[in-house]
């Protein structure tokens, strides 16, 4: 059985739409029949909350426990700590205890690859594993990059920080060089685009012109909409909350692009084996 494609959703800047993208791309893929695991690697637990667990601190098992077991060489039960969601995805939840684990990683053996080692134990059961990263380039984000095949970078169109993006690309390249040679940037996703303003259109064009040659910018942009902001408290995706709306439409397009890219890569790999 083939192993999952692991995708890190990363931006060290806060509030760029990482969690919203993880949730809706993940559920979008599940709606297309893919087996999807979402992993909350952020001690804030936003993805955990967004998927309906409003009190992450009360959960008996979270990513902290699973990574701690890996670090202590303890066995994991099948699907230990993995929670089902009504829309077909599964979740490894997180809470604030993950901050403590991040500190203890500093002195751990193979500290950059603890998450990777954990994911190896579950990879056979999924087609896609999406990692919701925290807004920093610390050890948990390095673990996410070390465990991933590809990176999706949500960028809030109105607040593009070219310097921030360069810093992120440097970190991705460093992880690629030193720890994970197969890591590649899948694409930049423009989020919270307000098409009522000319400014947003200009920024979108600017990003495509500036980075489009070096990096893929997804054709799908995610529009700004209060309907998207509402889902954080609803425990369901935009496909359930507002199925006919423009944000659902945009995440549907993104899902198709991600699947088409995965299929292209699979064919390319098969061609190389021939
Ligand atoms: N398309 C959108 N339109 C309007 N609001 C949005 C949209 N996408 C996300 N939001 C809202 O913007 C805020 C930040 O989004 P989100 O939590 O997805 O970002 P994040 O990058 O994961 O944040 P953090 O860095 O804190 O983890 C949230 O309140 C969310 O509900």
Segments making up each domain of the chain, as ranges: 5-273
Half-sphere exposure in the Cβ direction for 239 (13 Å, CA): 18
d(CA 79, CA 90): 10
Which residue's CA lies nearest to atom 9 of ligand 1? 17
Least confident of 1-5, 118-122, 134-138, 270-274: 1-5
Atom of ligand 1 nearest to the CA of 229: 31
Q: Which long-range contacts (CB under 8 A, 24 or more apart) does 173-177 make?
A: 175/112, 175/142, 175/145, 175/146
Closest CA relative to residue 150, chosen from 10, 2, 16: 10
Q: How far apart are CA 233 and CA 50, in angstroms?
A: 6
Report CA(48)–ligand 1 centroid distance (Å): 14
Site of tokens 């609803």: 234
Residues 176-186: tens digit of each pLDDT: 999 999 999 99
d(CA 232, CA 23): 10
Instruction: Measure 5 CA to ligand 1 centroid, in angstroms.
Output: 24
Task: Report the pLDDT value the prediction gives residue 5, as an integer from 0 to 100.
Answer: 96
Could you give the CA distance from residue 256 to residue 267 in angstroms, rounded to a whole number? 16
**End-to-end CA distance of the chain, in Å?**
19
| Ligand 1 lining (C-beta closer than 6 Å) | 14-20, 42, 46, 135, 191-192, 222, 224-225, 228-229, 232, 247
Task: Enumerate the H helices of 60-154 as residue ranges.
Answer: 63-71, 97-105, 114-120, 139-147
Whole-number Å distance between alpha carbons of 209 and 165? 15
Query: Which atom of ligand 1 lies closest to the CA of 20?
Result: 18
For the record, the structure tokens of 259 come out as: 């699947």
**pLDDT tens-digit series, residues 87-144:** 999 999 999 999 999 999 988 888 999 999 999 999 999 999 999 999 999 999 999 9
DSSP tag of 81: T
Instruction: List, for residues 56-68, the tens digit of each pLDDT value.
Output: 999 999 999 999 9
5-273: what CATH class? alpha beta
What are the pLDDT digits (tens) for 225-260? 999 999 988 899 999 999 999 999 999 999 999 999
DSSP H helices, 148-241, are 162-178, 198-211, 226-230, 238-241
């Amino acid at each position: 059985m083939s192993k999952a494609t692991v995708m890190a959703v990363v931006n060290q800047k806060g509030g760029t739409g990482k969690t919203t993208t993880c949730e809706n791309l993940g559920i979008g893929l599940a709606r297309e029949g893919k087996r999807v695991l979402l992993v909350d690697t952020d001690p804030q637990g936003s993805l955990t909350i967004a998927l309906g667990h409003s009190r992450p601190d009360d959960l008996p098992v979270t990513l902290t426990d699973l990574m701690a077991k890996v670090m202590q060489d303890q066995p994991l039960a099948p699907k230990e700590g993995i929670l089902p969601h009504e829309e077909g995805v599964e979740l490894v939840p997180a809470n604030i205890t993950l901050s403590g684990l991040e500190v203890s990683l500093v002195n751990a053996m193979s500290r950059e690859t603890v998450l990777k080692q954990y994911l190896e134990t579950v990879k056979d059961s999924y087609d896609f594993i999406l990692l919701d990263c925290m807004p920093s380039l610390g050890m948990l984000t390095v673990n996410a990059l070390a465990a991933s095949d590809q990176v999706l970078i949500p960028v809030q169109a109105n607040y593009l920080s070219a310097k921030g993006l360069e810093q992120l690309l440097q970190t991705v390249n460093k992880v690629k060089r030193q720890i994970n040679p197969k890591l590649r940037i899948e694409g930049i996703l423009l989020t919270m685009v307000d098409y009522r303003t000319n400014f947003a259109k200009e920024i979108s064009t600017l990003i495509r012109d500036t980075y489009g040659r070096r990096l893929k910018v997804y054709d799908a942009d995610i529009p700004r909409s209060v309907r998207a902001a509402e889902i954080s408290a609803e425990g369901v995706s935009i496909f359930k909350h507002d199925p006919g709306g423009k944000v659902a439409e945009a995440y549907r397009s993104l899902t198709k692009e991600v699947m088409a890219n995965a299929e292209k890569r699979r064919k390319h790999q098969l061609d190389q084996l021939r």
